[in-house]
Structure 1
Amino acid sequence: MDMPMSPPASTDMATQMNFYWGKDVIILFQGWPSNNLAMYILALAFVFMLSAATEVLSIPQVVRPSSGSRPIISLLIQASVYAVKMGLAYLVMLSVMSYNLGIFIVAVAGHGLGFLLVKIRALAAAGPANQAGSEFVDPKV
């Protein structure tokens, strides 16, 4: 039995398969940003914030149980933060799969800013005593 190598002709939605410029894009949801420049700029800001938040949440926060709580509570908090981080990461990935160059650039820039914020926080937590001796300090937070 012969199988067709292309989608049926009845589909009216084509998938973009290369990078392109322009505000006429569909990001995450059908009809968003609705071919409007202001909405496209809002979508760029949204993807930027999503990717920055993904990087900020990538540093594991150790939640220590208080004297009266159980360790399972801290594990549930850590698992919840991880699930939120992964959800944001998948939203950024799906946004980039729109193949819009503007979306790609702001996603990479957001990841860069998020990484910068994490490293600034790590250097501040390390304190000035650790920074004076070595220029290449990479403290873990």
Structure 2
Amino acid sequence: MDGMSSMEHKSYTHMTFFWGRNSEILFAGWPGARTGMYVLALAFVFALALLVEWISHCRLIGDRLKSNRIATAVLRTLMHAARVGLAYLLMLAVMSFNVGVLIAAILGHAVGFFFFGSRAFQGTPPPGKASADLPTTNC
């Protein structure tokens, strides 16, 4: 018995975009070749992109907290770190080169921007008031 047969490992590494559910997204062996897990992976990527948009456009820092500059700076720094970390995780998922993952990420960002960034459901902030706690990202 040679050593290769006992250590077989299916790898779904692609270097070009492809359609299909047989892939690895973020974690070794996940979602693999299971359709249900692939759909779950797409939902996870969609939710991740939606969360990045929410963090980018949310207003968590209240007026009382804004008077404490250090606490405000720490909270904004933590929010920025979370946004960047989640965006990098999302980028790594897209680097699986799976077209379904790319579409899920784009749709997650689009839906997130529509609900949180387009102001379709919010009034215009008063003059001098920031519309979000964090500055916009520059791509």
TM-score by length of 1: 0.72
Alpha-carbon spacing, 1:55–1:103, altered in 2? closer, same or farther (3 Å): same
- Larger RCO, structure (CA 8 Å, separation 6 or more): 2
Deviation of 1:93 after TM superposition, in Å, equals: 0.4
Taking only aligned residues, the RMSD between alpha carbons, in angstroms, comes to 2.7
Matched residue type, 2:52: T
Identity %: 39
Aligned partners of 1:61 and 1:78 also within 8 Å: no
Aligned length: 118
Matched residue type, 1:16: H
Aligned partners of 1:65 and 1:73 also within 8 Å: no
Match of 1:8 in 2: none
Question: Any idea what SS the aligned residue of 1:28 has?
Answer: strand
- Any stretches of 5+ residues in structure 2 without a counterpart? 1-9, 132-139
Matched residue type, 1:95: A
Answer 1 or 2: which has greater strand percent: 2
* Whole-angstrom CA distance in 2 between matches of 1:30 and 1:101: 19
Deviation of 1:64 after TM superposition, in Å, equals: 5.2
Match of 2:43 in 1: 45
Aligned partners of 1:53 and 1:114 also within 8 Å: yes
